[in-house]
Amino acid sequence: MISLLHCLCLFLMLFVLGVISIILNDNLLSMFIGLEIIMNSISLLFVVIGNYWSHTDGQVMYVLSITLSAIESSIGLTLLIQYFRQTHTLNINKFSEIIE
């Protein structure tokens, strides 16, 4: 039996890794991967806490959130490809339009 604390540590590590990968990367694809990691770590949290309180709600939420993240990633990848076709770069700072 894996204890709750271990699971929470795993979640926290994954979450912080995701946030750091968003913060440090310039590349849109890497940031996107970071977002996916965050999303999945939160899904993990749902399952773990649901299991701890012996509820099935957590698993239901997991199914929901994984569906949503699949949709979100498909849309995001589509946009990413379109961006790349238009600008031939994936550097996030080049996309900015508010610089005078």
Query: Which parts of this chain interact with another protein (CB under 8 A)?
Result: 19, 22-26, 92-93, 96, 99
Name the residue nearer to another protein (CB basis): 51 or 89: 89
Least distance from another protein to the Cβ atom of residue 18, Å: 11
Please name which of 94, 80, 91, 87 lies closest in space to residue 26, comparing C-alpha atoms.
91
Closer CB to another protein, 31 or 62, in the complex: 31
Q: State how far the alpha carbon of 61 is from the alpha carbons of 2, 17, 49, 55, in Å.
A: 21, 23, 11, 11
Task: Work out how close the CB of 96 gets to another protein at its nearest, in angstroms, rounded to a whole number.
Answer: 7
Amino acid at 65: S
